[in-house]
Chain A
Amino acid sequence: MAYDVEAYLNGELHGEALDAFERELQQNPVLREELAQQRDIMNALQHIRRRERIADAADQNRREHRQRRFVLGLTLLTLFGGLVLLYFYWIRPASPALPFPPQHPPVPENQQIPPSQTPSLTPPQGSPPFIAQNQLPPGKTTEPGPLVRGGEEPDIDRNMVPLFDTVMLQSPPFVPRGGSFDAVAAQVVARAYTPALARLQKMNTRFVQNDTLQYLTALCLLLQKQPVKASAYLFPLNRPDSPFREETQWLLGLDFLLQGKRDAAIKTLQLVQKNTAHPRSEAAGRLLDKVAMLGH
């Protein structure tokens, strides 16, 4: 008769089966040996089970420890980020708003770049001098008042608006990028000029004013058909050491067109066209042709 020692050790034998097993156990030394072996095996299995549970618990502890450290790190990072934001937006004193129009001190003579070293920026010999701020028509000033977001200026030359829009489509303006200006540049490209101007205004009060800021403000204003205000930002950029000088000359031509100052515009655009090294030389030639056609 086969006896199930495993069932006996697991306490699964009852009644007559249990009695029979225990009787046999007393008489049968082989069964006793089997029982002892089975007990050893089951003890060893229990030991393995406990060891596996302990290893599982240790793994779980390590995992939870890592998760706790991650959550703690994330919390600290969020707190730090919050403090940085708090500092920049509420605690740090904002620099006073810059005057409008922007005032630039004249470049000292010893710091001016000699024309001989900037061939691409210098008009050819014999060409009329470039239009400067003091050449504005009498009675017109470059003080357009505070920035107006949205809306065109009332006294622009409406006949030139379609031409201006076409030129802007065919020869898109240069939009500088990088650093803090990425967001503004994206807004300008998306033609969201009003939010771009708002952002520039905020940057104006927070950061040191620079040429890029001036240029982007002028561009936004011009694209919003506010040429008078735009010119106030463009004139200071038309200096030999300005990185935006070439683009400024081109935009000034367009600016004069929108203002209805056709002669000044033609003069400026001719200057750009004659300078063959100027990147807008060809575009200026085409524009001059169109202006001439419109003039007839």
Chain B
Amino acid sequence: MSHSLGRFLGLFNLDPGKRYPTNLLLFEGLRRLDTQAIQCLQIKCRRSVAYLLRQAGLSASDLTDDVLNESILVFLQKIGDSSYQFTGNAPATYTIEIARRLVANQTRLKTNQPHIELKDHHQNIQDDSVRDYYDNLEKVNLIEQLLSHLGESCQRLIRLRYLEGLSDEETVAQKLTNYHTVESLKVKRSECMKKLRALAARLHNKKELF
């Protein structure tokens, strides 16, 4: 009841900045991958990204969400691998800078070299984070495919730990799987990971991706 009331009252909190009043709080929220922090960043950057796209002569309505979400993904990746260190600056400013580079990519792709691969094309941008992002995309897509080849039980174990972000203790306590101890859960997941590595290695021999 109180949760619903809070959500309803939250509707009137139109200024997203009020949810994270300081840059540090927003950065901490992003580091924890809080949905609300990401929402806040999306709201703060959306207008600027649309403006960038309009300036670049691209259809803002179609691309804004895509470019915005990709920029945030790159930014979260940089926070995750510690290549971005908080120095008091606004995370939104950094995200918009990333978006500017992605928009430049899109512009090149659309106008000059429509046939060029993103992977090759971003070399001129001189930004490792954007390049890493595109390099990583193929691996991510591959892992997504491989995950679907695993059994349902394995998929669930990996999803709970690495996609939902639940610790083994939480998984066991909430009885989300058939495993009643942390040890048995770890052993089973380790087996699943081995299976996933084996599938990846098999593909490696074919495609030389890993």
Kindly state the interface size class of chain B when it binds its partner: 35 or more
Q: Is B158 an interface residue (CB 8 A)?
A: yes
Interface residues of A in 54-87 (CB under 8 A from B): 54-58, 60-61, 64, 67-68, 71
The minimal Cβ–Cβ distance linking A236 to chain B, given in whole angstroms, is 57
Taken together as a complex, chains A and B put the C-alpha atoms of A128 and B122 apart, in Å, by 107
Indicate if the CB atoms of B193 and A57 lie closer than 8 Å.
no
**If A48-B143, A49-B162 touch, does A67 touch B38 (CB 8 Å cutoff)?**
no
The minimal Cβ–Cβ distance linking A211 to chain B, given in whole angstroms, is 51
Interface contacts (Cβ under 8 Å), in number, total: 96
Q: Is A191 an interface residue (CB 8 A)?
A: no
By a CB distance below 8 angstroms, the chain A residues around B77 are 47, 50
Please give me the residue from chain B that is nearest to A12 by CB atom.
B186
The minimal Cβ–Cβ distance linking A75 to chain B, given in whole angstroms, is 10
By a CB distance below 8 angstroms, the chain A residues around B196 are 41
By a CB distance below 8 angstroms, the chain B residues around A51 are 69, 73, 140
By a CB distance below 8 angstroms, the chain A residues around B43 are 61
Indicate if the CB atoms of A42 and B162 lie closer than 8 Å.
yes
Q: Is B33 an interface residue (CB 8 A)?
A: yes
Q: Is the interface of B mostly helix, strand, loop or mixed?
A: helix
Indicate if the CB atoms of A45 and B35 lie closer than 8 Å.
no
Indicate if the CB atoms of A53 and B33 lie closer than 8 Å.
yes
Indicate if the CB atoms of B73 and A50 lie closer than 8 Å.
yes
Indicate if the CB atoms of A37 and B210 lie closer than 8 Å.
yes
* Chain B 64-77 interface 0/1 with A at a Cβ cutoff of 8 Å (1 = within): 01000100110011
Q: Is B103 an interface residue (CB 8 A)?
A: no
* Chain B 169-184 interface 0/1 with A at a Cβ cutoff of 8 Å (1 = within): 0000000000000000
**If A37-B210, A61-B42 touch, does A54 touch B11 (CB 8 Å cutoff)?**
no
Instruction: Name the 7 nearest CB pairs between A and B, nearest first.
Output: A57-B38, A44-B143, A45-B162, A57-B39, A50-B76, A44-B140, A47-B140
